[in-house]
């Protein structure tokens, strides 16, 4: 099993983790209405997901 040769200091470990979350923030845009929406979620604006209405349209 692979083992780290030297112990990574508390500061170095924390420093590495600082840019992890910031790089992972991503949003998709709805192909139906073009609004930003969460990936893998139905659009909160038009209720479409994968090209068809999932949530009954709010009229």
**Sites of contact with Zn ion (CB under 5 A):** 30, 32-33, 43, 45-46
29 forms beta bridges with 36
Q: Rounded to the nearest whole angstrom, what is the least distance from the CB of residue 38 to Zn ion in the complex?
A: 11
User: Do the Cβ atoms of 55 and 45 come closer than 8 Å?
Assistant: no
| Closer to Zn ion by Cβ: residue 8 or 38 | 38
| Closer to Zn ion by Cβ: residue 30 or 57 | 30
| Closer to Zn ion by Cβ: residue 33 or 55 | 33
CA pair distance 31, 28, nearest whole angstrom: 9
């Amino acid at each position: 099993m692979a083992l780290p040769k030297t112990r990574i200091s508390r500061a170095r470990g924390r420093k590495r983790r600082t840019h992890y979350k910031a790089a992972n923030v991503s949003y998709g845009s709805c192909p139906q209405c073009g609004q930003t929406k969460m990936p893998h979620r139905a659009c909160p604006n038009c209720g479409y997901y994968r090209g068809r209405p999932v949530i009954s349209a709010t009229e």
